[in-house]
Structure 1
Amino acid sequence: MPVDGWVRAVRVQKEITFLNINDGSSLQSLQIVARPDLDIRGITFGSAVEIWGKLVQSPHKKQSIELLADKIRLVGACNSVDLPFKIKERHSLEYIRQFPHLRCKTNVFSSLLRIRSEASAAFHSFFKDNGFVHIHTPIITSNDCEGAGELFQIEPASKTAEKQNNAHFFDVPSFLTVSGQLHLEVMMGAFTEVYTFGPTFRAENSQTRRHLAEFYMVEAELAFTESLKDIMEVMENLFKSATSFILSKSPDDVELFHKYVAPGQKERVEQMLKNSFQVLSYTEAIDVLQRSMETFKYEPKWGCDLQTEHENYLVEYCGNIPVFVVNYPYDIKPFYARDNQDGPQHTVAAVDLLVPGIGELCGGSLREERLDLLQSRLKQHGLKDTYQWYEELRQFGSVPHGGFGLGFERYLQCILGVENIKDVIPFPRFSHSCLL
């Protein structure tokens, strides 16, 4: 069997040529020892090759084995002169972002993709080990879970059928999903623990380092719970379990980021893993912000949502340990959040998990299972007709339940120390940009 891969380095000496070959399976490359009689014409950095030979113990300290080549075949030549990545240069994430069709060839982005793969496996493993059932929620939906109106509407490319019938393709307006939550809530009629993991979409005209138009969400729902602590426990255990899994499975790839992209991030991640996450009520959080000496762009006031600058300050205030903020004002959370019925400062049982360098990573709540309160809230928002099916869920064996969603790309930013979310997804989609 030949060794297949791409050339990462070519070192020509008097009698022997050394090639470093990488097949994408790890950060480490295999050293190839090529005799003078082998034809290596046209083989440059980036070339795709097949090599036959014998694996032997290497005399050099940098690798344990090397391949003594008997035959080398150039499969795909590479114009290394015009290739935007150079052998001995360490390019920034921002620079390689300009080349979405080529950046997988760089060490840093191939490491990112391996980490991303292991992170996906880590999340699935956590849920499977804890008895959750994986539900494939739809990408096309007629619901706006968040209620913010930031939706991509689905329309056929050809308008002919729609004009003839004067109707929508699905007979109702349809959109790319912003969340699988409502579909997971349906499953609370028969399952005690469910989760989904897939793409979600927001039509936000945003160019920040934390937002994308298409991103991945990990979402879970738990039945038979009336406590936010149950939801928070799963969030914290998921974060710590997945992170420990990644650190054990991809140490070299993670070290590349912690050493060259975000020095000091290794220690910050260790702090997050060994300490219990903090808890603040929304009211306490506002008090902390108002008493601070910090000058905020947005004034922190009770009844207003927390801004990124507020979230980052709160994390620093808690010693750069992730912090849960719980019990938000009734008026700033969606219709499904459970009413705390707690007097003048009317709140709901909602929770956000804030993490260092990112701000909000997870958002969740207990869901309103009391039919009369749910009906009142839907009527208040003018959603009663749209969500009649959601009311019916409460009439056929409904139970107290709750859940949360975690932004997968923000999670990767958090553990790796990557500043821009566009650098932790293979093909970033954001306003005014849809390359490839």
Structure 2
Amino acid sequence: MFHGVAKALTATSFTSVSRGVLFGIRQYCKKTATKLRVSEALLGAELGENVKVQGWVRSVRPQKTNTFLHVNDGSSLLSLQVVAGPQLNDPLLTFGSAVEVTGTLKKSPHQKQPVELEADQIHIVGECNPVDFPFKIKERHGLEYIRQFPHLRCRTNAFSSLLRIRSEATAAIHSYFRDNGFTQIHTPIITSNDCEGAGELFQVEPSGPEVEKDGNFFSVPAFLTVSGQLHLEVMSGAFSRVYTFGPTFRAENSQSRRHLAEFFMVEAEISFTQSLEDLTKVMEDMFRSATEHVLAHCVEDVDLFHKHVTPGHRDTVDAMVSKRFPVITYNEAIDILNHSSEKFAFPTNWGCDLMTEHEKYLVKHCGNIPVFVTDYPYDLKPFYARDNQDHPKHTAAAVDLLVPGVGELCGGSLREERLDRLSARLEEAGLEDAYSWYLDLRRFGSVPHGGFGLGFERYLQCILGVDNIKDVIPFPRFSHSCLL
């Protein structure tokens, strides 16, 4: 049978079949195009090959012979230029639309981009009406404007850059702790204790028809956590170095530029330490390590902020990572404030808590780089802070890290490991029953230890120079606002 078919094939028919086979191969190759992220395509992956890119149109420039698109998928600040012939022109191909482009990745003849995608096919996945879309193609929208659209602001260059920086900074912090012998602990979000003792708690209560009316779901009042510190202290009885990184909640009725009802906190606890220097070293090293990592791995994204959102801030960041952080005591801080010609809204007498205006002034006084303030008045700190037993000025072994543009970034202390003193402090505060378990930690194999917490959003404000904390978190939660 095969010989019969072969004899039937003339030269013309063989050529026709060959062309058909080649066409089929080409079609198969197109169907099996290599899928690339935009960041991979820009690096020249699969150069000269048939590839597929999916993303959103950031610009459209129709010309007589070709239409030029820029497509972005969030993997890079830079977009991939797509060159489409007139046969692919489509009125639905607009700014903001979602597309899938298949074609050949080639070197670009223009210096502004290393490669471009010569399109064979453009499939419009999701339409976008540019008239109704709140972001316009040739406008640079400010952070305050795009904050009005929490469901759409990730489509802008500034906020997509922020999210990539946030992701990379998260990875850098985890990497620092892993490389320095810390064990990560997943501390609970629902808790029965108030670590800070300020009473700014969100109470957790179930809803639904089956809820018991005469009791709590957990048999005790439960709250959203304000800190994972006490749970880390539990773990520090078996691990010498632990940390946690997760959401925390404060029911502060505040509309300030540096407070949120929900934010992320990095917290660490170190056992077998009796020195604040052990804590300040970890704080400083973590800050420097994470910042250097972000500067090295998010070059274009950080540059966007430092050039267009917060011009001139890069010099401040470079100074922060290149200089050692000075250390001053609370006593010295009060002396600096009292000898200042600055007019403060809040008093600066010994025993007062440092307010944001005081913190920012101290940072400037110390060269506009981060500064540690240690040994605060004992009465200003929570029950767990270690008593320095100094007289006549009674202080606690506590430390805050103050940074440019923000004020307080980190707060920490040595913990009171002496059972008699801790028992007296809890009894004085009327908390001895609620924290009997905490006293057990001191009864059974207790060691000197200490720890700190860092506000992650404030850290991002600090390195990017962003004025409002609501602009460095995907979905800000604050009083009278819980959108989405």
- TM-score between the two structures when normalised by the length of structure 2: 0.89
State the match for 1:434 in structure 2.
Answer: 482
- Separation in 2, partners of 1:426, 1:358: 19
Q: Could you list the structure 1 runs, at least 4 aligned residues long, displaced by more than 3 angstroms after superposition.
A: none
Measured against aligned partners, the alpha-carbon deviations of 1:353-395 in whole angstroms (never above 9, x if no partner) come to 0000000000000000000000010011110000000000011
Determine whether 1:154 maps to 2:191.
no
Determine whether 1:372 maps to 2:420.
yes
State the match for 2:7 in structure 1.
Answer: none
State the match for 1:192 in structure 2.
Answer: 240
State the match for 1:46 in structure 2.
Answer: 96
Given that 2:203 and 2:221 are in contact with CA atoms closer than 8 Å, whether structure 1 keeps it comes out as yes
State the match for 2:228 in structure 1.
Answer: 180
SS at match of 2:167: helix
Determine whether 1:232 maps to 2:232.
no
- Separation in 1, partners of 2:274, 2:317: 31
AA matched with 2:227: S
AA matched with 1:241: S
Measured against aligned partners, the alpha-carbon deviations of 1:213-256 in whole angstroms (never above 9, x if no partner) come to 00000000000000000000000000000000000110000000
Given that 1:40 and 1:72 are in contact with CA atoms closer than 8 Å, whether structure 2 keeps it comes out as no
Q: Which has the larger radius of gyration?
A: 2
Measured against aligned partners, the alpha-carbon deviations of 1:303-350 in whole angstroms (never above 9, x if no partner) come to 111000000000010010110000000101000000000111000000
- Separation in 2, partners of 1:151, 1:159: 25
- Separation in 2, partners of 1:59, 1:414: 40
156, 163, 174: which one pairs with 1:124?
A: 174
- TM-score between the two structures when normalised by the length of structure 1: 0.99
Given that 2:60 and 2:68 are in contact with CA atoms closer than 8 Å, whether structure 1 keeps it comes out as yes
Determine whether 1:264 maps to 2:312.
yes
Say which is worse superposed, 414-423 or 31-40, in terms of deviation.
Answer: 31-40
AA matched with 1:373: R
How does 1:15-414 map onto structure 2 within 5 Å?
Answer: 15-158=65-208, 160-163=210-213, 166-414=214-462
Kindly state the Cα deviation for residue 40 of structure 1 after the two structures are TM-superposed.
2.5
AA matched with 1:73: H
- Separation in 2, partners of 1:251, 1:40: 35
- Separation in 1, partners of 2:74, 2:210: 46
AA matched with 1:266: R
AA matched with 2:156: T
Larger RCO, structure (CA 8 Å, separation 6 or more): 1
SS at match of 1:347: coil
- Separation in 1, partners of 2:242, 2:92: 54
Given that 1:218 and 1:406 are in contact with CA atoms closer than 8 Å, whether structure 2 keeps it comes out as yes
- Separation in 2, partners of 1:74, 1:98: 28
Kindly state the Cα deviation for residue 275 of structure 1 after the two structures are TM-superposed.
0.6
State the match for 2:24 in structure 1.
Answer: none
For the aligned residue pairs, the C-alpha RMSD in angstroms reads: 0.7
Kindly state the Cα deviation for residue 158 of structure 1 after the two structures are TM-superposed.
2.7
Given that 1:3 and 1:52 are in contact with CA atoms closer than 8 Å, whether structure 2 keeps it comes out as yes
- Separation in 2, partners of 1:396, 1:5: 58
- Separation in 2, partners of 1:207, 1:36: 52
Given that 1:188 and 1:398 are in contact with CA atoms closer than 8 Å, whether structure 2 keeps it comes out as no
SS at match of 1:99: coil
Q: List runs of 5+ in structure 2 lacking aligned partners.
A: 1-33, 35-51
- The number of residue pairs the alignment matches comes to 434
SS at match of 1:419: coil
